Chain A
Amino acid sequence: AQSVTQLDSHVSVSEGTPVLLRCNYSSSYSPSLFWYVQHPNKGLQLLLKYTSAATLVKGINGFEAEFKKSETSFHLTKPSAHMSDAAEYFCVVSERRQAGTALIFGKGTTLSVSS
């Protein structure tokens, strides 16, 4: 079975400083990995996805993630945090099921941004 582990339940940064949200994955085959963001009272939104092409993936709003097979990691980064980045972030792996695939979510990391 595939799984993801988000190493921090809560990350706090100051506006303008770098963001690092850590994620390790477990997969018996080359996985598809995603980062989703969830703002209060809004639906989950896809930030970026890795599907075995370039290992450095760029997403929306200045976020990017690097797939490192040797470390089984897929950490999310952003050079400079903005107040609007405060939200819940989920690392996700696509799992092959009986008749297709389903998304398997981590427990989430709450990002707080202070001024």
Chain B
Amino acid sequence: DTGVSQNPRHKITKRGQNVTFRCDPISEHNRLYWYRQTLGQGPEFLTYFQNEAQLEKSRLLSDRFSAERPKGSFSTLEIQRTEQGDSAMYLCASSLFEDTEAFFGQGTRLTVV
């Protein structure tokens, strides 16, 4: 399967714990995006990368959130000191260039208890 891969698919964690998600984009895609989707809502933009450079972070991304793409390939999204409000589906997408089709992974569903 050469699509966008996200791991884990599901994560249950206790409030206050740190969690890390991984996204493997389609090979050779330069752009990588993170979105968050809560129940009954559309995905909301969090951040994006051009190769290894993080170009922008949404205001939705508090200081507890950090994303990296160290070698311009896979990316990680870390949430520190999780809160119940962080419970959501975290989606990753990649595209070859800006304004070309974005391909989405199946997401990581986070539940904070």
Contacts and interface: CB of A to CB of B under 8 A. Distances in A.
Given A43-B107, A98-B55, A108 B31 contact: no
Contacts of B104: 36, 43-45
A105 B43 contact: yes
Contacts of B33: 102-103
**At the interface, is chain A mostly helix, strand, loop or mixed?**
strand
A104 B45 contact: yes
A100 B42 contact: no
Q: How large is the interface on A (under 10, 10 to 19, 20 to 34, 35 or more residues)?
A: 20 to 34
A115 interface: no
Interface in A52-111: 90, 92, 94, 97-108
Contacts of B63: none
Contact of B42 (A41, A45, A49, A106): A106
B4 interface: yes
Interface in B28-74: 31, 33, 35, 40-45, 48, 50, 55-56
B8 interface: no
Interface string A8-32: 0000000000000000000000001
Contacts of A98: 55-56
A46 interface: yes
Most A C-beta atoms less than 10 A away, residue of B31, B40, B43, B48: B43
A104 B104 CA distance: 14
Interface of A: 32, 36, 41-46, 49, 51, 90, 92, 94, 97-108
10 contacts: A41-B106, A43-B3, A43-B105, A43-B106, A44-B91, A90-B43, A102-B56, A105-B43, A106-B42, A107-B40
Given A98-B55, A104-B45, A106-B42, 17 more contacts: A43-B4, A43-B104, A43-B107, A44-B91, A45-B104, A46-B101, A46-B102, A90-B43, A92-B42, A100-B31, A101-B98, A101-B99, A102-B45, A102-B56, A105-B35, A105-B44, A107-B42
